[in-house]
Amino acid sequence: MAKVAIEMVKKSGVDVEKLVELLVKNAAAELTTYYYYTILRANLIGLDGETVKEIAEVARIEDRNHFEALVPRIYELGGALPRDMKDFHDMSGCPPAYMPKDPTDVKAMLKTLVEAERCAVRQYTNICNLTAGKDHRTYDLALAILNEEIEHESWFSEFLGEGPSGHFMRRGESSPFVSKFLK
Amino acid sequence: MPSPKSPGGPQGGGRSFSLPDWLDGMRVFTRNQLARYNGKHGKPTYVAYQGKVYDVSTSFLWRTGEHQAFHAAGNDLTAALKDAPHGPELLRKFPVVGTMA
Q: Is B89 on the interface with A (CB under 8 A)?
A: no
Q: How far is CA A131 from the centre of its chain?
A: 17
* pLDDT exceeds cutoff 70 at A80: yes
Compute the average pLDDT of residues A91-110.
96
| Cβ-defined contact of B63 to A94 (cutoff 8 Å) | no
Q: pLDDT, tens digit, for every residue of A29-71?
A: 999 999 999 999 999 999 999 999 999 999 999 999 999 999 9
Instruction: Quote the CA–CA distance of A107 and A166 in Å, as a whole number.
Output: 21
Of B55, B56, B51, which Cα lies nearest the Cα of B101?
A: B51
Instruction: Among B64, B68, B83, select the one facing A93 at the smallest CB separation.
Output: B68
What is B21-100's CATH topology? Flavocytochrome B2; Chain A, domain 1 (3.10.120)
pLDDT for residue A171: 84
> CB neighbours of A137 closer than 8 A, spacing ≥ 6?
A5, A73, A76
The complex's ipTM works out to: 0.82
Q: pLDDT, tens digit, for every residue of A129-180?
A: 999 999 999 999 999 999 999 999 999 999 999 998 888 888 889 999 999 9
Task: Show which residues on chain A lie within 8 Å of chain B, measured between beta carbons.
Answer: 18-19, 21-22, 25, 90-96, 121-123, 125-126, 129
Superfamily, domain A3-181 = Ferritin, core subunit, four-helix bundle (1.20.1260.10)
CA max distance for chain B: 50
CA distances from B83 to A125, A127, A160, B6, B87 (A): 11, 12, 29, 35, 9
Instruction: Quote the CA–CA distance of B36 and B54 in Å, as a whole number.
Output: 14
Instruction: Quote the CA–CA distance of A146 and A131 in Å, as a whole number.
Output: 13
Minimal-distance CA residue of chain A relative to B81: A126
Across chain B, mean pLDDT equals: 83
Minimal-distance CA residue of chain B relative to A29: B61
Q: pLDDT, tens digit, for every residue of B25-82?
A: 689 999 999 999 999 999 999 999 999 999 999 999 999 999 999 999 999 999 999 9
Q: B84: which chain A residues are within 8 Å (Cβ-Cβ)?
A: 126
pTM of structure = 0.87
| Cβ-defined contact of B70 to A93 (cutoff 8 Å) | no
Q: Where are the domains of chain A?
A: 3-181
Instruction: Quote the CA–CA distance of A8 and A180 in Å, as a whole number.
Output: 23
